[in-house]
Chain A
Amino acid sequence: MSERPDFSAFPDAKGHFGQFGGRFVSETLMAALDELSAMYQRLKDDPQFRADFDYDLAHYVGRPSPLYLAERWSRQIGGAKIWLKREDLNHTGAHKVNNTIGQALLAKHMGKPRVIAETGAGQHGVASATVAARLGLKCQVYMGEEDVKRQRLNVYRMKLLGAEVIPVTSGSKTLKDAMNEAMRDWVTNVDDTFYIIGTVAGPHPYPQLVRDFQCIIGREAREQSLKQAGQLPDALVACVGGGSNAIGLFHPFLNDESVAMYGVEAAGDGLDTGRHAAPLSAGRPGVLHGNRTYLMEDDNGQIIETHSVSAGLDYPGVGPEHSWLKDIGRVNYVAADDQEALAAFRELTQVEGIMPALESAHALAYTRKLAASMHPDQNIVVNLSGRGDKDILTVAAIDGIEF
């Protein structure tokens, strides 16, 4: 990079990260987004709001999450030291709850009695249902019919938490269609409903506010690295579907020029097969779900179906800030395929006794290669964004085991 931008100055007032981001929605939602923006701009620096958020993260979520040195795995690979940022140990089992705590606080301030959410793997749905239960809000979660099948455990968890899961049967029946349906719901019920978007995509101000809520990951990791490793990490690795766990880890390090960053997309059956979910690696810019970003689309601008073994990465778009970070060259975007992710899932489980989510396993798969190319005195921090319990049925099915 020739000139380093001031990363904290983005997005601009209209939600743009360079040419990406923005607010591409139908008119009915514009007033609601203006209202949300105004509320967020007012609250984000409000000491009471921040104190409430920090309190919930500490006492409800269980933060800070540990930074764990995976000694045995690092030794086995024989390269850099690998540190796992243990978001899997959060209440509800993934990083998603950091964001839903924040958005639920916003919903409360805005007096909205009902929340809706979209979910892919179900982690965001569970995290939304969880905060809704705690605050006594009505909660409906849209989930692609395909994902409802893949993630039956999380569907039942949401039901136990009192949320209604609405299977979405349109389009590819996965995360993007769940997001379409949640948008349709929001347009219809905009007066009393708060839409808790689960990732750093969607219309402004969502990419900004979800990022800000998730930045707790990177702030902690930075402090923990300095304390535990005595230095900043040489590299950060995180999986990228919509990209909220990745931006949460990366953002507080963006101004640390010595820290290299790798966002790992889902290569599915392989980038050259077309059956993947890697818009940054193999897509191009377009407009979907309220923002301009890299997309998986055909020559006519139609969104194409994605494929990944992990429901949480099975999305044809990506947060606009990632698109920008790619174009300016600050973050490297790479991909890991289904087989590599499954191998990493098994390896971490067996070597460290930590079962990662299949999403996080994509980051681990790339970490494995990266670590091998580095020296033992170097450090990698990888975001272990969620735990793998939800994926046991998927992996069992691959192993030919039925429950």
Chain B
Amino acid sequence: MSRIKGCFERLAGQQRKALIPFVTAGDPQKSVTVPLMHAMVEAGADIIELGVPFSDPMADGPVIQLACERSLAAGTSLHDVLDMVREFRQQDNQTPVVLMGYLNPVEVMGYPAFAKAAQDAGVDGVLLVDLPPEEAVEVKPLFDQQQLDMIFLVAPTTTDARIKLIGEAASGYLYYVSLKGVTGAATLNVEEVAGRVETIRNLAKLPIGVGFGIKDADSAQAISRVADGVVVGSALVNQVAANQATPDAINGAVSEVLAAMRNAMDQH
């Protein structure tokens, strides 16, 4: 069983929801990331989404755009990100790690080479924002071969027919983008999200993580009541940005936000 599937099953047994933090790898420097991953697990993270920096992050708002810029300025490449996961795995063999990013760095590495390298490093899943299932037909068997879960986005605009298609192509979990827009934007309408999650549940048989617009313990708690997982990105990356001059303070700042979310989510 994949680490991701195991994770959701274990949590379901405990009647808890997955807390899924996102940070951009190598932001603001490469040495920060692995200790930060461990600190996030310590603070209650169940799955880690690790952002692979890209020069043109079209689906991201300013917070994650700037994180990409800092990471690239520090020289972070996809190879480096895989090395970070490998290093993380030396101490943590349980927490699933999902690489999240854009297609081109993977395209340039080559799909068979990437799939093999990701598996070797201990990556569990891959979410490529600009690779919809229609374009993933040739890639998917390569990822399947290496037991990498392919995680796809579902959006507020996704039709029922597409939800079915995505549900069939995906494994691990579905990432429901809770609002139209880029990462870090606006506030979310929990009732609307609840309705959509219900629809997705009826059409696809995978756990559903919800992201976009989750800023604090309250919103994390609200979303955890309707979804299987809560994805939090910009709120954490903001903490990284605020402490970029004092990297030693990053783990504490991110952990504080995350731990508050964890507590709120675990209260029934």
Please indicate the chain A residues that have their CB under 8 angstroms from the CB of B106 in the complex: 301
**B37-45, B131-139, B196-204, B236-244: which one contacts chain A?**
B131-139
**A26-34, A63-71, A147-155, A239-247: which one contacts chain B?**
A26-34
- Is A375 interfacial (CB-CB < 8 Å)? no
**In the complex, which residue of chain A has the Cβ closest to the Cβ of B185?**
A188
Q: Kindly list the 5 A-B residue pairs having the minimum CB-CB distance in the complex, ordered from nearest.
A: A301-B108, A301-B105, A188-B181, A28-B155, A27-B153
CB < 8 Å: which of B57, B135, B153 contacts A23? B135
Knowing A31-B159, A300-B108, the reply to whether A24 touches B59 (Cβ < 8 A) is no
Per-residue 0/1 for B54-86: is the Cβ within 8 Å of any A Cβ (1 yes, 0 no)?
Answer: 111111111001000100100001110000000
- Is B129 interfacial (CB-CB < 8 Å)? yes
- Is B235 interfacial (CB-CB < 8 Å)? no
Contact B158 A180 (CB under 8 A): no
Q: How far apart sit A30 and B162, CA to CA, in the bound complex (Å)?
A: 9
Please indicate the chain A residues that have their CB under 8 angstroms from the CB of B153 in the complex: 26-28
Q: How far apart sit A290 and B132, CA to CA, in the bound complex (Å)?
A: 10
Please indicate the chain A residues that have their CB under 8 angstroms from the CB of B130 in the complex: 24-26, 287, 290
Question: Can you name 6 A-B pairs with beta carbons within 8 Å?
Answer: A24-B132, A31-B158, A187-B180, A187-B182, A190-B180, A302-B104
Q: Which of A287-346 contact B (CB under 8 A)?
A: 287-290, 292, 295, 297, 299-304
- Min CB gap A86→B, angstroms: 35
Contact A287 B107 (CB under 8 A): yes
- Is B154 interfacial (CB-CB < 8 Å)? yes
Q: Which of A175-190 contact B (CB under 8 A)?
A: 176-177, 180, 183-184, 187-190
Please indicate the chain B residues that have their CB under 8 angstroms from the CB of A14 in the complex: 134
Contact B105 A302 (CB under 8 A): yes
CB < 8 Å: which of A26, A34, A171, A176 contacts B155? A26
Contact A26 B108 (CB under 8 A): no
Q: How far apart sit A86 and B140, CA to CA, in the bound complex (Å)?
A: 48
- Min CB gap A333→B, angstroms: 21
CB < 8 Å: which of B135, B154, B180 contacts A188? B180
Contact A30 B132 (CB under 8 A): yes
- Is A191 interfacial (CB-CB < 8 Å)? yes
Contact B158 A184 (CB under 8 A): no
- Is A286 interfacial (CB-CB < 8 Å)? yes
Please indicate the chain B residues that have their CB under 8 angstroms from the CB of A28 in the complex: 59, 153, 155-157, 177, 180-181
Contact A183 B159 (CB under 8 A): no
Contact A176 B56 (CB under 8 A): yes
- Is B11 interfacial (CB-CB < 8 Å)? no
CB < 8 Å: which of B56, B166, B181 contacts A288? B56
Contact B59 A184 (CB under 8 A): yes
**In the complex, which residue of chain A has the Cβ closest to the Cβ of B108?**
A301
Residue of A27, A32, A177, A188 ringed by the most chain B CB atoms within 10 A: A27
Q: How far apart sit A52 and B99, CA to CA, in the bound complex (Å)?
A: 49
Please indicate the chain A residues that have their CB under 8 angstroms from the CB of B154 in the complex: 27
Contact B104 A288 (CB under 8 A): yes
Contact A190 B108 (CB under 8 A): no
CB < 8 Å: which of B72, B108, B159, B162 contacts A297? B108
Q: How far apart sit A297 and B54, CA to CA, in the bound complex (Å)?
A: 11
Please indicate the chain A residues that have their CB under 8 angstroms from the CB of B8 in the complex: none
- Is B109 interfacial (CB-CB < 8 Å)? yes
- Min CB gap B157→A, angstroms: 4
- Is B173 interfacial (CB-CB < 8 Å)? no
Contact-size category for A: 35 or more
- Is A228 interfacial (CB-CB < 8 Å)? no
**In the complex, which residue of chain A has the Cβ closest to the Cβ of B153?**
A27
Please indicate the chain A residues that have their CB under 8 angstroms from the CB of B60 in the complex: 184
- Is A170 interfacial (CB-CB < 8 Å)? yes
- Is A22 interfacial (CB-CB < 8 Å)? yes
Contact B158 A303 (CB under 8 A): no
Q: How far apart sit A110 and B267, CA to CA, in the bound complex (Å)?
A: 47
Q: How far apart sit A184 and B183, CA to CA, in the bound complex (Å)?
A: 10
Contact B152 A27 (CB under 8 A): yes
Contact B56 A171 (CB under 8 A): yes
Knowing A24-B135, A187-B59, A288-B56, the reply to whether A301 touches B104 (Cβ < 8 A) is yes
- Is B190 interfacial (CB-CB < 8 Å)? no
Contact B59 A26 (CB under 8 A): yes
Per-residue 0/1 for A1-38: is the Cβ within 8 Å of any B Cβ (1 yes, 0 no)?
Answer: 00000000000001000000011111111111010000
Per-residue 0/1 for A183-207: is the Cβ within 8 Å of any B Cβ (1 yes, 0 no)?
Answer: 1100111110000000000000000
Contact A23 B134 (CB under 8 A): yes
CB < 8 Å: which of A25, A32, A183, A286 contacts B132? A25
Contact A27 B155 (CB under 8 A): yes
Please indicate the chain B residues that have their CB under 8 angstroms from the CB of A285 in the complex: 107
**In the complex, which residue of chain A has the Cβ closest to the Cβ of B166?**
A27
Please indicate the chain A residues that have their CB under 8 angstroms from the CB of B132 in the complex: 23-27, 30
**In the complex, which residue of chain B has the Cβ closest to the Cβ of A300?**
B77
CB < 8 Å: which of A31, A170, A289, A290 contacts B65? A170
Please indicate the chain B residues that have their CB under 8 angstroms from the CB of A288 in the complex: 56, 104
Please indicate the chain B residues that have their CB under 8 angstroms from the CB of A26 in the complex: 58-59, 129-130, 132, 153, 155, 177
- Is B103 interfacial (CB-CB < 8 Å)? yes
Knowing A28-B180, A187-B181, A301-B104, the reply to whether A289 touches B58 (Cβ < 8 A) is yes
Residue of B55, B77, B155 ringed by the most chain A CB atoms within 10 A: B55
Q: Which of B170-189 contact A (CB under 8 A)?
A: 177, 180-182, 185
Please indicate the chain B residues that have their CB under 8 angstroms from the CB of A177 in the complex: 56
**In the complex, which residue of chain B has the Cβ closest to the Cβ of A188?**
B181
- Min CB gap B101→A, angstroms: 10
Q: How far apart sit A299 and B158, CA to CA, in the bound complex (Å)?
A: 34
Please indicate the chain A residues that have their CB under 8 angstroms from the CB of B166 in the complex: 27
Knowing A23-B135, A30-B132, A31-B162, the reply to whether A180 touches B56 (Cβ < 8 A) is yes
Per-residue 0/1 for B144-171: is the Cβ within 8 Å of any A Cβ (1 yes, 0 no)?
Answer: 0000000011111111001000100000
Contact A302 B134 (CB under 8 A): no
Please indicate the chain A residues that have their CB under 8 angstroms from the CB of B107 in the complex: 285-287, 292, 301
CB < 8 Å: which of A24, A170, A189, A302 contacts B131? A24
